Amino acid sequence: MNQNDAALSEIKWNQQGLVPAIAQDHATGEVLMLAWMNLEALRCSVTEGRAVYWSRSRNKLWRKGEESGNVQLLHEMRLDCDSDTLLLKVEQVGGIACHTGRKNCFYKHLENGSWNVTDEVLRDPADIYGDQQ
C-alpha cells in the first residue's frame, strides 16, 4: 500500500470516479487549465512528481506533455474544503499548457456579449504534435 493512499482515500470522487484538478503556475499564479484525475492518475502524479490526468475523451491516463514535451512538474498539491477539487501548483515546462499552442487554456474573454480571443499562439500545434492532430 502506497504511503499516500490514506490521504488519497479522503478524496470525494464524483460518480465517474473523477475529481477536477486545476493547474496553476507555481511562480506567476496564472491558471493554466482544468483537467480530471481518477485515483490512478493522482497516484501517478504524486509518485512521479508531474501532472498525470485522466483523459475523458481517450479514456486513458494522460501524462501531460507526453506528446508535446510540455510537462507539468508538480510543486505542491492542495485539496479543497469539500475534498472534491484539487489545486496543483506546477512548473509548466515549455511555457505552453494549451493544446492550441497558447500559454494557458483560458484565452477566450467575454466582452460585450462575445468571446474574444486575445492570447496569441506561441507555437503552431502542427509543430508541437506533428501529424497526430
Binding interface with a copy of itself (CB under 8 A) = 3-4, 6-7, 10, 20, 22, 24, 28-31, 33-34, 46, 76-83, 85, 87, 98-100, 102, 105-110, 112-115
Give the C-alpha separation, 9 to 39, whole Å. 9
Identify which of residues 33 and 128 has a Cβ nearer to a copy of itself in the complex. 33
Could you give the C-alpha distances from 1 to 8, 18, 43, in angstroms and in order?
Answer: 12, 21, 11
Give the C-alpha separation, 56 to 59, whole Å. 5
Place of cell 515546462: 93
For the bound state, the minimum distance from the C-beta of residue 4 to a copy of itself, rounded and expressed in Å, comes to 5
For the bound state, the minimum distance from the C-beta of residue 47 to a copy of itself, rounded and expressed in Å, comes to 12
For the bound state, the minimum distance from the C-beta of residue 121 to a copy of itself, rounded and expressed in Å, comes to 11
Give the CB-side neighbour count of residue 12, counting CA atoms within 13 A: 7
Identify which of residues 56 and 130 has a Cβ nearer to a copy of itself in the complex. 56
What 3-state class would DSSP assign to 5? helix
Identify which of residues 58 and 113 has a Cβ nearer to a copy of itself in the complex. 113
Identify which of residues 73 and 79 has a Cβ nearer to a copy of itself in the complex. 79
